Structure 1
Amino acid sequence: LKELSRRLDTYQNGNVQMGEELHEMRSVVAPLPEKLTRLEQRDPTSLSFDQAARLVGMGASVDELTQSCGLTQAEAELMSKMHKG
């Protein structure tokens, strides 16, 4: 009887621990649908400009910006002037 009681305690402790971990996982997963929706609705051109700004910071040329980010020559020149420094 003592052995069964010990086993029951072990199982109960395991269940409590699993419940706590499940609760923690839910708090991590719960905001994901909203974040995904925001990403899907984000203007794709803003991604190009963000990428271009990073590339300028790494020393990319105007030609590299037009090729890799799909910017026009004028946009690439403006990005280069704005983000160099």
Structure 2
Amino acid sequence: MIWIALLAGALALACTVLGVVCYRLAERLRQEVAAQAARDAVRDQKIKELGRRLEAYLEGSVRMGEELHELRRVVAPLPDKLSQLEQRDPASLSFTQAARLANLGASVDDLTHSCGLTKAEAELVSRLQQARKGQE
């Protein structure tokens, strides 16, 4: 009988120790779960921030692509226009005509009407011709 009582006492002690160990393990598990939840929240916040940044970059890329497309549309006819200008007779250019007229004493108003220049362009041509006359 004593053996049974000792065995029951040892078993009770083992169960108590096992219960304490299980309680400590459960508490440690709760702490780890809470720490993991905090890390998950930080990770989720970073993922959201990266998603917002990626979206902003994509919007910028789309706008840049649209602007590039518009620039291509504007620039595409320029080689043809340049070829046309290169093939034109230099005497037919409005600036050449304006320089000749200014050299003959035409006024700024005459240059704007006959050559299709703006007033500022006509004034520039006139002043350049006057400066050339002054140097000669």
Q: TM-score normalised by the shorter chain: which range applies? A: 0.5 to 0.7
Indicate whether 1:28 and 2:74 are aligned.
yes
Give the letter for the 2:71 counterpart.
M
Give the alignment of 1:7-22 within 5 angstroms: 7-22=53-68
Choose between structure 1 and 2: higher helix proportion.
2
Indicate whether 1:45 and 2:66 are aligned.
no
Give the alignment of 1:52-67 within 5 angstroms: 52-53=100-101, 55=102, 56-58=106-108
Q: Which consecutive unaligned segments of at least 5 residues does structure 1 have?
A: 61-67, 69-85
Residue number in structure 2 paired with 1:6? 52
Give the letter for the 1:8 counterpart.
L
Give me the TM-score of the superposition, normalised by structure 2.
0.38
Aligned residues: 59
Structure with max Cα Rg: 2
Q: What is the alpha-carbon distance in structure 2 between the residues aligned to residue 46 and residue 12 of structure 1?
A: 50
Q: Residue 57 of structure 1: CA displacement?
A: 4.0
Q: What is the alpha-carbon distance in structure 1 between the residues aligned to residue 92 and residue 70 of structure 2?
A: 33
Q: Residue 2 of structure 1: CA displacement?
A: 1.0
Give the letter for the 2:57 counterpart.
Y
CA RMSD of aligned residues (A): 2.3
Give the letter for the 1:38 counterpart.
Q
Give the letter for the 2:74 counterpart.
V
Residue number in structure 2 paired with 1:71? none
Q: What is the alpha-carbon distance in structure 2 between the residues aligned to residue 6 and residue 26 of structure 1?
A: 30
Give the letter for the 1:7 counterpart.
R
Q: What is the alpha-carbon distance in structure 2 between the residues aligned to residue 2 and residue 38 of structure 1?
A: 55
Give the letter for the 1:14 counterpart.
G
